[in-house]
Amino acid sequence: MGQALWRLPPRQQQQLQEELADRLADQEAGQEQGRDGGPQRRAPQQCYGPDIYHLLRTRIGGKERHGFIDLEMLPPELGITILSYLNATDLCLAGCVWQDLGNDEYLWQG
């Protein structure tokens, strides 16, 4: 019925977080020139599960370059990891906001 959620092992979580931090640092520092004159891209580290490198490469290469990514684009386990940084109070407040938005009839009128 619903999609099963699972947690990544700590080593894989650390690997994904390091890769995300590297990608964001590269994006903020500007892209360096590669041998062919185009932007230099490093080979992705081995990633078990969803292809995070493809998601990051597509997102960075796209038109939208503001500092936010859509949580719906991320694999569920990565979205859970991001939301795990919220404390219980903030997570409950966010849940209340999402519930209010979901119950707003004006938004459902299309």
The Cα–Cα gap between 52 and 108 comes to: 32
How many domains does one find in the chain?
2
Query: How far lies 104's CA from each of 24, 71, 110, in Å?
Result: 35, 21, 12
Residues 18 and 64 in one domain: yes
Residues 35 and 59 in one domain: yes
pTM score: 0.34
Residues 81 and 30 in one domain: no
| pLDDT score of 25 | 73
In a domain, 41, yes or no: yes
In a domain, 1, yes or no: no
Give, for all 110 residues of the chain, the pLDDT tens digit: 333 444 556 677 677 777 777 777 776 666 555 555 555 555 444 444 455 555 555 555 555 555 666 777 778 888 888 888 889 998 898 889 888 888 888 888 87
| pLDDT score of 4 | 41
Which residue range is the domain that position 94 belongs to? 71-110
